[in-house]
Amino acid sequence: MKEMFKIKGTYAYLFALFLNAFTDLGHKIIIQNTVFKMYDGEIQIVLTAIVNALILLPFIMVFTPAGFLADKFPKNKVMTFAAALAVVLTLLITLSYYMGWFELSFFLTFLLATQSAIYSPAKYGYIKELVGNKFISAGNAAVQAATMVAIMSGMGIFSFLFEFMLHDYTTADEILKQIAPLGWLLVLNSVAEFYLISMLPNKQRVPSDRKFSMKKYITGLYLRKNMKTITRKPMILQAIFALSVYWGVSQVAIAVFPEYAKSVMGISNTVYVNGVLGLTIIGIIIGSIMAARFSKYFIQVGMVPFSAIGMGVSLLLIPVFDRLEPIAVLFFTFGLFSGMFIVPLNAFIQKHAPGVHLGTILAGNNFIQNIFMVILLGMTTLLAFYGGVDSTSLFYAVATLTFVMAFFVSRQHLLMFAWFVGELLLSFRYDFVFKGAEKVPHTGAVLLMANHVSWLDWLIVPFPVERRTIFMMERSIYHWPIAHSFFKWGEAIPVSARAAKDAFKQVHNYVKHGRLITLFPEGGITRTENIQKFQRGYEIAVKGEKGVIVPAYIGGMWGSRFSRSKKHFVEKRSLWRRKVTVIYGDPVPLSTSAAELQTIIEKLKEEYYAQ
């Protein structure tokens, strides 16, 4: 991740996004706090929902133009235009504060959101252009962290200054007049953002000759065409829907909590309310960093179902409590899982979207997400105002919706989910370092072959490889009552001394179909730490087939409780965790003999001990 920050423009880009989110959030906080001070009960929920809807609607309305601009023009130029527009709008907002025009300030929320809607596809599309696929997860994590820090800072700073500057008042207009100097802070941020964006390099390699037709836009032809572009890749569409449900749920939770705090806990100070919501932001920042860590080698979509379940549990427990402290912890955990949910899905969309349609797909992502948010906020408004549904029931409702979403993403990413849980559990005890994992080909038949040190080797060796592996295992373990279904589902190959021929027939079939297979040619776990003589069974299994062998050496597991060492010890330690290093060698032909392969892995062992 450190290498990413050496790329020219990275710091200016991230700081500009920080200022953009800080400005948008600042005005929203001022309006929401004014609503909070002036209204109670269902009216407060409804007005808060309307404020959020005004922010969301532009993303639906300008879906097509925003995508067109991001694909037609250099994304840095689109962002520069949007930043200049923000300067004009913040000046108008400041004027409305000083004049005490609450209704105009309310409406300007919509115009500021329109500017953000134009800005957004270019902003997110620029990540891939700036840092490339290599750092796409880290780039998304950095953007998410910068945005969340801005939101958290905005909530804290604007809420504190709002309360500090506010004295006696009877109307919303009077409140705005008292806090009017805050408008200049919005203007200053917008000017600084414009300056930073104008410094970003142009990354558009090929000029676009696209033309915009107002007739096609008004008749909805563009909308239908753009939606077809999005639906061509079902995996991208599914990721967009998952994000849409998340943002809808989070918007409802944010809209409902102030009323819950006021009616259930008796809290009327906006600093406390926004402080709890600020903990959600801290959680998102930490979750985003964790997502980048787990996606160091590839986009770890296994985090998606895991974090969805975590978010559902957090929301379900919030209405159980009527004290601020446990609720603050639950909002923090909701944010933590949110960061681990958002980053891999956004990175997945950006990576798999065709470059020529990236802006359209990202704008479509905004379009569908905001439709979900508007619908859920509309339902919240109707349930609260006409149905008399209280904030507690609304929390239970969004928790249920989150669990439904978790069920579907778990089905979609079940195998990656299982591998991620395994990696997560082992990471508490082991600090894994993978060197040369990029040498494993992304396509074609591959035998991933390593020394055999412990019972966990079959899990450890494939961790940094995005392709899921097939592995061989002892037949007696394969038939364990509870684990058998899991091993069968994971396409494990059972092997024993009596059934070795059948096992290698399966290996041959998988190689023929271009699969990745993890094998341990020693035939068993070493009892002496030394690499045992490699067995030749695989040579017959792959004879005449095309593909490569990627050799690997596992260092650091000998002496662990999962090895056959009589004494337990640690060669290298990272804080309290055992440091385990896996070194991957250069691919060699499938025809490489067992003796030649053993020599190669012996050299990787020497490389490990030479470190």
Place of tokens 């919240």: 380
Place of tokens 């559990």: 425
DSSP character at residue 438? G
Place of tokens 């933590």: 336
Place 204 in a pLDDT band, splitting at 50, 70 and 90: low
Closest CA to 346 of 395, 299, 386, 384: 299
Who wins on pLDDT, 605 or 48? 605
Close Cβ partners of 3 (under 8 Å, ≥ 6 residues apart): 135
The conformational region for residue 491 under phi > 0 = left, psi -120 to 50 = alpha, else beta, is left
Place 500 in a pLDDT band, splitting at 50, 70 and 90: confident
DSSP class per residue in 293-346:
HHTSSS--TTHHHHHHHHHHHHHHHGGG--SHHHHHHHHHHHHHHHHHHHHHHH
DSSP character at residue 551? E
DSSP character at residue 88? H
Place 360 in a pLDDT band, splitting at 50, 70 and 90: confident
Is 27 within 8 Å of 112 (Cβ atoms)?
yes
Helix, strand or coil for residue 440?
Answer: coil
Is 22 within 8 Å of 186 (Cβ atoms)?
no
Read off the pLDDT of each residue in 215-222 and give the average, rounded to a whole number: 68
Lowest mean pLDDT among 182-186, 408-412, 492-496: 492-496
Give the pLDDT confidence of 337-354 residue by residue, as tens digits.
Answer: 999 999 899 888 888 877
Largest pairwise CA distance in the chain:
89
Read off the pLDDT of each residue in 529-544 and give the average, rounded to a whole number: 85
Residue 508 is encoded by which pair of tokens? 């041959």
Is 442 within 8 Å of 334 (Cβ atoms)?
no
Is 271 within 8 Å of 399 (Cβ atoms)?
no
Helix, strand or coil for residue 142?
Answer: helix
The bridge status of strand 548-555 relative to strand 516-519 is unpaired
How many Å apart are CA 293 and CA 344, to the nearest integer? 11
Who wins on pLDDT, 496 or 588? 588
Q: Please check the confidence at residue 552 and state whether its pLDDT lies above 70.
A: yes
Who wins on pLDDT, 1 or 566? 566
Closest CA to 423 of 298, 566, 281, 519: 298
Is 273 within 8 Å of 261 (Cβ atoms)?
yes
Would you say the pTM of this structure is higher than 0.75?
no
CB atoms within 10 A of CB 589: 11
Is 278 within 8 Å of 294 (Cβ atoms)?
no
The bridge status of strand 588-589 relative to strand 548-555 is antiparallel
Chain CA centroid to CA 430, Å: 24
Give the pLDDT confidence of 85-136 residue by residue, as tens digits.
Answer: 999 999 999 999 999 888 888 888 888 888 888 888 888 788 877 877 777 8
pLDDT given for residue 87 in this prediction:
93
Who wins on pLDDT, 497 or 410? 410
How many Å apart are CA 77 and CA 201, to the nearest integer? 9
Residue 212 is encoded by which pair of tokens? 């915009």
- Kindly give the residue spans of alpha helices, DSSP state H, lying in 457-593: 457-460, 475-478, 484-489, 500-512, 537-541
The full set of domains in the chain, from first to last, is: 16-424 (1.20.1250.20), 429-609 (3.40.1130.10)
Tell me how far CA of residue 287 lies from CA of 52, 111, 142, 283, 332, in angstroms: 24, 31, 11, 6, 10
Residue 144: in which H helix or E strand, if any?
helix 136-165
Place 310 in a pLDDT band, splitting at 50, 70 and 90: very high
How many Å apart are CA 241 and CA 228, to the nearest integer? 15
What whole-number percentage of the chain has pLDDT above 70?
94
Closest CA to 56 of 279, 244, 253: 244
**CA torsion, points 536, 541, 547, 553, in degrees to nearest 10?**
-40
Round the average pLDDT of the chain to a whole number and report it.
84
Torsion angles phi and psi, residue 543, rounded to 5: -60, 130
Residue 532 is encoded by which pair of tokens? 């045992």
Give the pLDDT confidence of 361-397 residue by residue, as tens digits.
Answer: 777 777 788 788 778 877 877 777 666 778 888 889 9
What whole-number percentage of the chain has pLDDT above 90?
24
Place of tokens 């008042």: 169
Closest CA to 22 of 180, 148, 150: 150
* Amino acid in position 458: W
How many Å apart are CA 236 and CA 167, to the nearest integer? 50
Place 317 in a pLDDT band, splitting at 50, 70 and 90: very high
pLDDT given for residue 210 in this prediction:
65
Is 276 within 8 Å of 156 (Cβ atoms)?
no
Residue 218 is encoded by which pair of tokens? 């008004």
Helix, strand or coil for residue 548?
Answer: strand
